[in-house]
């Protein structure tokens, strides 16, 4: 069997396995990043024209591209519709970026921790991953500068707004400083913002892409967290030097993004109805976040530290007494509880033991307390066993 060299780096996906286990209805799952089903909006398809069924443009629907460009400009990302590429979910942006930049051994820079599925696709293409450590308000700037002085990464991949998994939101000062550093060293930015609209305190900082003066950039978003993940409609907006390459890569990957999903997204983006939906969504998730915080404080205060997230879908717990949380998974599932171990969110998992990512958006509130209680018991038991 002669597979490609890259297949040796094709890891079994922990997410997939945990989510499969979490399918069992009796499982209380904190593992995924799923929107609450109660908040999936009802769709109307009546007005969709028949010819939406025909082949479409690789770039995406012209009207949707206009709407997305207007939305980005309103956030402070100067762009035209011609820089917008509609993709099959923002995961595809990462695939296209990997193809554009990564040969075996190409250095790239990521936050530590970072988004698991980004790490997977970049490593599949053979990236050598440099890490810049995250603090409560963004990356450690001295470490970032030192890294950029020593290395020339092909790009830096950042999730500055309610990061997955850490929930960190970069401060205004750090956004400015990161932009200045990327301009100074001429490093391309990939800025991933799936969670931007899920803000619980109303904050909305300008994306880093909009603060750059010279560096190339790709800004990527999705309707998956605010509308419907099942549509598989995401987008990227790129600086004009990158766009033509990304467009050709998109075409060779799947010709174009599904048009029925694009048409549906077009009915929402920029509309009053969408604004109203976002208001309800934020309020719904804020309540879930608050209830989660209370239950966490009850069961985990002696076990872990965490920041209360001001947006997004996750709590990130750091155990006071570190242990490899991957080893807790089997016992948790035995107790019908699923969670995401924190280690796989680092490019060198074994050097970062003792974190957990807990999703608060999807769990049934009636089972929340019981789920966290059982999870805490699993942690406590493992720590006793370790101490013994």
Of 73-112, binders to its own copies (CB under 8 A) are 87-89, 91-92, 95, 99-103, 106
Q: How far is the CB of 261 from its own copies (least distance, A)?
A: 5
Provide the strand spans (E) within 179-255: 188-192, 217-222, 234-238
Q: Do the beta carbons of residue 117 and residue 94 sit within 8 Å?
A: yes
CA distances from 37 to 33, 78, 241 (A): 12, 34, 40
Residue 124 found at the interface with its own copies (CB under 8 A): yes
Residue 131 found at the interface with its own copies (CB under 8 A): no
Total residues binding its own copies (CB under 8 A): 74
The one segment of 128-136, 253-261, 275-283, 288-296 that binds its own copies by CB under 8 A: 253-261
Q: Map the footprint of its own copies across residues 255-284, applying CB under 8 A.
A: 255-261, 264
Residue with Cβ nearer its own copies (40 or 74): 40
Q: How far is the CB of 62 from its own copies (least distance, A)?
A: 11
The one segment of 1-9, 165-173, 299-307, 375-383 that binds its own copies by CB under 8 A: 1-9
Q: How far is the CB of 123 from its own copies (least distance, A)?
A: 10
CA 59 – CA 250 distance, rounded (Å): 8
Residue 63 found at the interface with its own copies (CB under 8 A): no
Q: Map the footprint of its own copies across residues 138-167, applying CB under 8 A.
A: 152, 154
Which residue from 6, 214, 298, 320 is in contact with its own copies, where contact means CB under 8 A? 6
Q: How far is the CB of 130 from its own copies (least distance, A)?
A: 14
Which residue from 21, 70, 117, 323 is in contact with its own copies, where contact means CB under 8 A? 117
Closest CA to 208 of 156, 145, 138, 160: 160
Provide the strand spans (E) within the chain: 28-29, 84-87, 107-112, 128-135, 138-139, 155-158, 188-192, 217-222, 234-238, 304-305, 314-319, 337-338, 340-341, 355-359
Q: Six-digit token pair at 379? A: 């942690």
Which residue from 145, 248, 367, 373 is in contact with its own copies, where contact means CB under 8 A? 248
CA distances from 131 to 86, 108, 114, 221, 323 (A): 29, 9, 9, 23, 21
Which residue from 76, 78, 203, 230 is in contact with its own copies, where contact means CB under 8 A? 230
CA 220 – CA 119 distance, rounded (Å): 16
Residue 12 found at the interface with its own copies (CB under 8 A): yes
Residue with Cβ nearer its own copies (152 or 320): 152
370 phi/psi in degrees, rounded to 5: -60, -40
Residue with Cβ nearer its own copies (178 or 231): 231
Distance of CA 110 to the CA centre of its chain: 13
Which residue from 25, 26, 50, 142 is in contact with its own copies, where contact means CB under 8 A? 50
Q: Do the beta carbons of residue 281 and residue 198 sit within 8 Å?
A: yes
């Amino acid at each position: 069997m002669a597979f490609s060299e890259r297949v040796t780096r094709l890891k079994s996906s922990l997410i997939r396995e945990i989510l499969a286990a979490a399918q069992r209805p009796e499982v209380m799952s904190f593992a995924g990043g799923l929107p609450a089903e109660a908040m999936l909006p009802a769709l109307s398809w009546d007005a969709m024209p028949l010819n939406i069924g025909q082949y479409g443009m690789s770039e995406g629907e012209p009207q949707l591209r206009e709407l997305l460009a207007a939305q980005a400009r309103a956030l402070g990302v100067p762009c035209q519709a011609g820089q917008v590429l509609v993709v099959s979910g923002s995961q595809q942006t990462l695939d296209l970026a990997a193809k554009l930049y990564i040969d075996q051994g190409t250095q790239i820079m990521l936050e530590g921790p970072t988004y698991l599925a980004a790490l997977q696709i970049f490593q599949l293409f053979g990236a050598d991953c440099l890490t810049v450590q995250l603090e409560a308000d963004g990356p450690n700037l001295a470490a970032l500068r030192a890294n950029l002085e020593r290395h020339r990464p092909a790009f830096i991949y950042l999730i500055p707004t309610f990061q997955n998994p850490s929930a960190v939101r970069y401060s205004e000062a750090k956004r400015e400083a990161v932009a200045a550093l990327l301009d100074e060293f001429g490093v391309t930015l990939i800025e991933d913002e799936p969670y931007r609209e899920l803000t619980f305190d109303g904050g909305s900082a300008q994306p880093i892409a909009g603060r750059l003066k010279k560096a190339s950039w790709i800004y990527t978003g999705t309707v998956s967290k605010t509308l419907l993940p099942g549509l598989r409609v995401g987008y990227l907006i790129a600086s004009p030097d990158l766009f033509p390459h990304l467009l050709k890569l998109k075409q060779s990957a799947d010709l174009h993004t599904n048009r029925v999903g694009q048409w549906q997204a077009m009915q929402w983006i920029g509309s009053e109805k969408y604004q109203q939906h976002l208001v309800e969504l934020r309020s719904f998730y804020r309540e879930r976040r608050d209830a989660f915080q209370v239950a966490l404080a009850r069961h985990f205060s002696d076990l872990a530290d965490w920041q209360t997230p001001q947006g997004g879908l996750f709590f990130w717990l750091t155990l006071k007494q570190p242990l490899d949380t991957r080893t807790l998974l089997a016992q948790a599932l035995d107790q019908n509880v699923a969670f995401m171990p924190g280690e796989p969110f680092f490019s060198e998992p074994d050097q970062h033991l003792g974190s957990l990512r807990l999703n608060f958006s999807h769990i049934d509130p009636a089972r929340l307390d019981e789920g966290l209680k059982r999870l805490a018991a699993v942690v406590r038991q493992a720590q006793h066993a370790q101490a013994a």
